[in-house]
Chains A and B, each alone.
Chain A
Amino acid sequence: AQTVTQSQPEMSVQEAETVTLSCTYDTSESNYYLFWYKQPPSRQMILVIRQEAYKQQNATENRFSVNFQKAAKSFSLKISDSQLGDTAMYFCAFMKYGNKLVFGAGTILRVKS
Chain B
Amino acid sequence: EPEVTQTPSHQVTQMGQEVILRCVPISNHLYFYWYRQILGQKVEFLVSFYNNEISEKSEIFDDQFSVERPDGSNFTLKIRSTKLEDSAMYFCASSEALWGGGELFFGEGSRLTVL
Contacts and interface: CB of A to CB of B under 8 A. Distances in A.
A106 B44 CA distance: 12
B55 interface: yes
B90 to A, nearest CB: 11
Nearest to A6: B42
B33 A43 contact: no
B65 interface: no
Interface string A38-68: 0000111111001010000000000000000
Interface in A93-109: 95, 97-106
Interface string B84-113: 000001010001001101111111110000
Contacts of A99: 31, 33, 48, 95, 98, 101-102, 104
Interface string B76-87: 000000000000
Contacts of B45: 100-102
Q: Of A99, A103, A104, A106, which is in contact with the most chain B CB atoms at under 10 Å from its CB?
A: A99
Interface in A5-56: 33, 35, 37, 42-47, 50, 52
Nearest to A4: B42
Contact of A95 (B35, B56, B101, B108): B101
11 contacts: A33-B101, A44-B106, A45-B91, A46-B106, A47-B104, A50-B103, A97-B99, A99-B101, A103-B43, A103-B44, A106-B43
Interface of B: 3, 31, 33, 35, 41-45, 48, 55-56, 89, 91, 95, 98-99, 101-109
Interface of A: 33, 35, 37, 42-47, 50, 52, 91, 95, 97-106
Given A47-B105, A97-B99, 16 more contacts: A42-B108, A43-B108, A44-B3, A44-B106, A44-B108, A45-B106, A47-B104, A50-B101, A91-B43, A98-B55, A99-B31, A99-B48, A101-B45, A101-B104, A103-B43, A104-B42
